[in-house]
């Protein structure tokens, strides 16, 4: 099995700088503090690199949900761990690694909206263009086609997460 680079480390870092600037600009008139919610495990590298560059106070929160087994979506969302603080009257930014079908994000958004945050926005490093996600990703990263990607937090059966780039398997 061989890996090919789809998006290199330098290009990822440049996009994260751009997203952090856009996020800071968007929130700075509303607040000086946001709750950044990292969707584990795939978003951990993106989240870590992104929040360091946002020029606001970012409260960290983590959830672990999944709808994949290997490279196939199961069609149902499995919650492994959830929020440890209420979101009411807070500005919330969901940090996702990839939006494919949008099912996982729709599940998360629906649940978070019930907690009445002041605002609820999404950033995702990757957006698959093959599906109509029906999810408003305010701060999108890269658009990709219907390709299975690994690296920079994304995995294939828990492998390849530690790659500094986003690649695909031949």
- In 3-state terms, what secondary structure has residue 138? coil
CATH number at residue 74: 3.40.50.2020
Assigned domain for 164 exists = no
Please check whether residue 137 is in contact with residue 122, taking contact to mean a CB–CB distance below 8 angstroms: yes
Assigned domain for 96 exists = yes
Whole-number Å distance between alpha carbons of 13 and 19: 10
Report if pTM > 0.85.
yes
Assigned domain for 71 exists = yes
Assigned domain for 139 exists = yes
User: What does the mean pLDDT of the chain come to?
Assistant: 91
pLDDT digits (tens, 9 = 90+) for 74-83: 566 677 667 7
Does the pLDDT of residue 68 top 60, yes or no? no
Mean pLDDT lowest among 7-11, 59-63, 66-70, 111-115: 66-70
Whole-number Å distance between alpha carbons of 155 and 17: 23
Does the pLDDT of residue 121 top 90, yes or no? yes
- Let me know if 100 is a catalytic residue: yes
Q: How many domains does the chain have?
A: 1
pLDDT digits (tens, 9 = 90+) for 28-41: 999 999 999 999 99
The answer for residues whose C-beta is within 8 angstroms of residue 53's C-beta and 6 or more apart is: 16, 17, 20, 21
pLDDT at 132: 83
Assigned domain for 1 exists = no
Domain, as residue range, for 51 = 9-144
Distance of CA 71 to the CA centre of its chain: 18
pLDDT at 46: 98
Q: Which of 49, 97, 100, 155 is catalytic?
A: 100
Assigned domain for 165 exists = no
List % helix, strand, coil for the chain (3-state, nearest 5).
20, 40, 35
């Amino acid at each position: 099995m061989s890996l090919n680079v789809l998006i290199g480390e330098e290009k990822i870092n440049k996009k994260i700088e751009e997203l952090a600037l856009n996020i800071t600009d968007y929130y700075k008139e509303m607040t000086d503090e946001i709750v950044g919610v990292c969707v584990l495990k795939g978003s951990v590298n993106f989240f870590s690199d992104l929040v360091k560059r946002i020029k606001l106070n970012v409260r960290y929160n983590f959830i672990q949900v999944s709808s994949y087994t290997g490279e196939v979506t199961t069609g149902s969302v499995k919650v492994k761990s959830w929020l440890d603080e209420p979101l009411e009257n807070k500005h919330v930014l969901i940090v996702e690694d990839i939006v494919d079908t949008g099912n996982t994000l729709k599940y998360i958004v629906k649940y978070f909206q019930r907690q009445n945050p002041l605002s609820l926005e999404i950033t995702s490093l990757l957006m698959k263009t093959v599906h109509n996600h029906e999810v408003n990703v305010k701060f999108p990263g890269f658009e990709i086609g219907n390709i299975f990607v690994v690296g920079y937090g994304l995995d294939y059966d828990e492998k390849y997460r530690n790659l500094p780039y986003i690649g695909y398997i031949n």
